[in-house]
Structure 1
Amino acid sequence: MAPSAALHGPKSPATDERETPAFSHREAKRLVQDLFTPKPALYWADFLMTVSIGYGFAAIYLMAPAFSVMQIVAFLVSGLALFRVGIFIHELVHREEPSMIGFHIAWNLLFGVPFLLHSLLYRSHLDHHYPRKFGTPAEGEYLPLASAPIRETVLYLAQIPVVPLLAAFRFLVLVPLSFLYPPSRRWLLEQWSSYTINPYYRRVIPSTEPLGLWAALDLLCLLWLVVVIGLIFKGFIVWTTVGMVYGLSISTIALNWVRTLAAHRFLNTGGNMTYVEQIEDSQTIEGRSLLTLLLFPIGLRYHALHHLFPLMPYHSMGEAHRRLMSALTEDSPYKKGIFPSLWAALRELLRGARVAGKAGQNPMQAWRHPRTATYAR
């Protein structure tokens, strides 16, 4: 299915929103126009090599002597590799052209289903790119953490250990019930089918949603879980292995959730933001350290660039960023979210949280009770 305006949200008009004295979206796009063509062969090579490393070192981790150097190293390498493989889901949401269909299938079979994270669970990401929803409770990837007390960031991180358990519950209990009692199917898709950081998010299912594919992927994940549980009770998989796999899963989720804290400023308190404000809120991590490369794979360190051009493939982002940095003026909104490292971005977020705590303000109320909030939809 080719990308379309219906899939990626309405295009913002080239008026006040995208053309200002400090920034011209039209001019920015002209600078990078030749970089939008994806290279499927590169996607395949990157994915297959990384997934092989991830599963290969996972096997070493499971078989190595407990707490040995070999096991610790294998755990770290496998966790980082599987984290990178998982991040490809972000590309899948934006790459639905015919040349990438095979890649979608392979990713889901080799990673999405085994990790109970098939690609449609992240299709809610499109709300994050809808101009009227960005930064509000109507989308699932934004929380006002830098405008709320630090305890809200702690609560955000506390969700990490329960994510795999909630996924298992969804597929083992809610998915079968949704087929046995069809009226509950839409409720499941709206309330329990989005991989987001906002636990209060409620998904809107459009008429174009591929419900047949949803059912197939849900059933595949359910079948996978049933097989694994059967192997556990037959004694082919011991509970120690289950605990180790759970720990590995938690590590990959934790890497992503910590990385997400540097994706935006997270200052907005629920109201609609202008296009320029959305770009200023999106952050770029420019550091070239090994840690930056590992924690921001698949182009995620160029997050402002991604919000400028959601359809730009990850392998083009480095070159596009260099061109924009060279051509844009110093007061450009694009340059206002540049940070040298993850730690610098986290310090900025925590500084805002401390100020909010002292002021006694907490805009999370709008997220916890979105139906009664005063933000504009």
Structure 2
Amino acid sequence: MSLADTHSSISQQRATARPEVSLANARRIVHDLLKPNPVIFWTDMLVSFAIGATAFHFVKFCPVFSVAQIGLFLLSCLMFYRLAMFIHEMVHMRTGTFTYFRIVWNILIGIPFLMPSFVYYTHLDHHRRKHYGTDKDGEYLPMGQTGRWQLILFVLSSFVIPPIVVFRCLVLTPLTWVSPKLRQFVYTHLSSMIIDPTYIRPLPTAQAVRIMRLQETACFLWCLGIAIAVVTVGEYPYPFILQAYLTGVTVLMLNAIRTLGAHRYNNDEGEMTFLEQLLDSVNYPHRPWITELWGPTGTRYHALHHLFPSLPYHNMPEAHRRLMEQLPEDAPYRQTNRVTLFSGVIDLWRRSKEVERRNAAQRRAARQQETDSAAC
């Protein structure tokens, strides 16, 4: 039997040994929690924006590196991070709903932070059962099966993404208006919020192109306005730009670390079953006073989100509580919980380290075999 046949046999044995996920039973338990509450969405967004914008404004009035300045800076970052994660909720909302919420979010957050809602449309591929964990899923890398260098580079990319995005919006956007070839490249390679740099976004539909052009034009005008201010106003924009850059880096780094703990990232062999996808995802239901900071708007319930992608964030704690109370003792969903993000990231780090050791041992064995063959 070949190695591939052996692995396939083991996978089949594991699949048959695990209890199946009863979606009908789970949906029955949470059926009344699937409708989003507009009042909660609007209140959360507007209050978070008011706090974040106020804290951001007063940072410059504090003594440099004082406790007050650092505190206000971190507060603004946490609020803007929370606001940014609403993009995750919006992409799962039914088309034609929450229209004004989407528009206001883009005006307050999407455009100023150069992350308009169209860059996250591809997130839906992450939830398609035949795409999850494959090369068609831009939000998945087999980081549990590669070396630690990939984890480090992933987090450090937070420092280079802001200038790349500014270049995309300020320079490439107007060029796409006159070059169809460049427009196709930009739309397929530089228009998605993903973690896999090799991901190629499918060409958008005509309706999606209209939305993309409207939003990217707004981003271009925002960047152009700041560029003009830098040239004409002089000194003042520079502290603003530095603070904006550091805010962007902090938000991106928070999200990168959260992302490391969102999945176990064990898949590097193509399509996964729904059960494997669920068990590859992680919930952090404990210590909400801290997990809500790094996993806002329900992102700390990532396995639950993969079970019910349209479940609104404000109902996730109650949905998780019900599922844990009413699902059978051997339900696979119970295996998706971790206590802390730190434990999830450390587990991923250790598995990546073990892969490095195995690869190094294989290379040494191959070199020794070559040496023995040459000696013979």
Sort the TM-score into its range (normalised by shorter chain): 0.7 to 0.9
% identity of equivalent residues: 37
Following superposition, the deviation at residue 21 of structure 1 comes to: 4.2
Counterpart of 2:153, as a letter, is L
Q: Higher mean Cα deviation, 96-105 or 203-212?
A: 203-212
After superposition, the C-alpha distances for 1:59-96 in whole angstroms (9 at most, x for unaligned) are: 11123221112111101101111000000000111114
| Alignment partner, residue 360 of structure 1 | 359
Matches within 5 A, 1:288-303: 288-303=287-302
| Alignment partner, residue 339 of structure 1 | 338
SS in 1 for 2:137: coil
Following superposition, the deviation at residue 33 of structure 1 comes to: 0.8
Which runs of 5 or more residues in structure 2 are unaligned? 1-14, 361-376
SS in 2 for 1:159: helix
2:19 and 2:330 in contact (8 A); partners too = no
Following superposition, the deviation at residue 289 of structure 1 comes to: 4.8
| Alignment partner, residue 350 of structure 1 | 349
Counterpart of 1:147, as a letter, is Q
Following superposition, the deviation at residue 206 of structure 1 comes to: 4.6
Tell me which structure has the larger Cα radius of gyration: 2
Would the alpha carbon gap of residues 340 and 209 (structure 1) be closer, same or farther in structure 2, given more than 3 Å must change? farther
Q: Higher mean Cα deviation, 265-274 or 94-103?
A: 94-103
Aligned with 2:141 (options 128, 138, 143): 143
TM-score by length of 1: 0.88
| Alignment partner, residue 40 of structure 2 | 42
TM-score by length of 2: 0.88
| Alignment partner, residue 305 of structure 1 | 304
Query: How far apart are the structure 2 equivalents of 1:335 and 1:259?
Result: 20
Counterpart of 2:82, as a letter, is R
| Alignment partner, residue 78 of structure 1 | 76
Which runs of 5 or more residues in structure 1 are unaligned? 1-16, 362-377
Aligned with 1:53 (options 46, 51, 54): 51
Would the alpha carbon gap of residues 156 and 170 (structure 1) be closer, same or farther in structure 2, given more than 3 Å must change? same
Following superposition, the deviation at residue 182 of structure 1 comes to: 2.8
2:285 and 2:317 in contact (8 A); partners too = no
Following superposition, the deviation at residue 238 of structure 1 comes to: 3.3
After superposition, the C-alpha distances for 1:142-190 in whole angstroms (9 at most, x for unaligned) are: 1111111111111111211011111001011111110011343222111
2:20 and 2:275 in contact (8 A); partners too = no
SS in 1 for 2:287: coil
Structure with the larger helix share: 2
Following superposition, the deviation at residue 310 of structure 1 comes to: 0.7
1:137 and 1:270 in contact (8 A); partners too = no
2:19 and 2:331 in contact (8 A); partners too = no
After superposition, the C-alpha distances for 1:200-228 in whole angstroms (9 at most, x for unaligned) are: 11111253652111111010000000001
After superposition, the C-alpha distances for 1:293-331 in whole angstroms (9 at most, x for unaligned) are: 211110111111111111111111111111111112233
**Is 1:127 aligned with 2:112?**
no
Would the alpha carbon gap of residues 209 and 324 (structure 1) be closer, same or farther in structure 2, given more than 3 Å must change? farther
| Alignment partner, residue 230 of structure 2 | 232
Query: How far apart are the structure 2 equivalents of 1:30 and 1:201?
Result: 36
| Alignment partner, residue 246 of structure 1 | 245
Matches within 5 A, 1:207-222: 207=205, 209-222=207-220
**Is 1:166 aligned with 2:173?**
no
Would the alpha carbon gap of residues 205 and 67 (structure 1) be closer, same or farther in structure 2, given more than 3 Å must change? same
Counterpart of 1:75, as a letter, is F
Say what the alpha-carbon RMSD is for the aligned residues: 1.6
After superposition, the C-alpha distances for 1:107-166 in whole angstroms (9 at most, x for unaligned) are: 000110001000001111111011111011221111111111111111111211011111
Counterpart of 2:355, as a letter, is A
Following superposition, the deviation at residue 241 of structure 1 comes to: 2.6
**Is 1:64 aligned with 2:56?**
no
SS in 2 for 1:131: coil
Counterpart of 2:276, as a letter, is E
